[in-house]
Amino acid sequence: MTNDKQTLTDAQVEWAMAAALQEAAIAGSVGEVPIGAVVIHDGEIVGRGYNLREHAQDATMHAEIMAISEANRTLNTWRLEDCQLFVTIEPCPMCSGAIINARIPEVYFGARDPKAGTVRSLYQLLEDDRFNHRVTVHEGIEEQAAADLMKNFFKAIRQGRGKAKPRGGQKL
């Protein structure tokens, strides 16, 4: 379901999600789970990110966190009140918390994550009235493309063609 309070044009949404999908493809190409994100401000990308958790051996290196952090640095503020976040896969609890704390008013995502998603699948954190900030959510943007990146990545891993992931302090 897509919320009707969209502030961007359909062309802007398509362009921004294409950029997030490019970030996801980069993650997949280096052996990371292919999730990508971008933060948009006044029609420009001010933050980009893709998963780097395995390479960095850092649980916080999710696409959304990377994109939000870059946007904070670019705009020189922790408040991203005039921004939109685009992410290929539904955010997890940590990323949903960062979205709320950064005061991002709109999130667009591609495919749901039934095992860790906290925007629609397991919880609806971004629209929970108990928080001091609520987010307008738009889902299903390039859903099939986002889902296919994930499906193909994990299929390659199962077939032994995926890139090796570092474990226990190993470096790639």
What are the catalytic residues?
64
| Residue 83 annotated as lining a ligand binding site | no
Q: How is 82-147 classified by DSSP, letter by letter?
A: TEEEEEEE---HHHHHHHHHTT--EEEEEE--TTT-TTTTS--GGG-TTSS---EEEE-TTHHHHH
**Residue 92 counted as an annotated binding residue:** yes
62 is in an annotated binding site: yes
CB 142 within 8 A of CB 17: yes
37: three-class secondary structure by DSSP: strand
Binding residues for Zn(2+): 62, 92, 95
Binding residues: 62, 92, 95
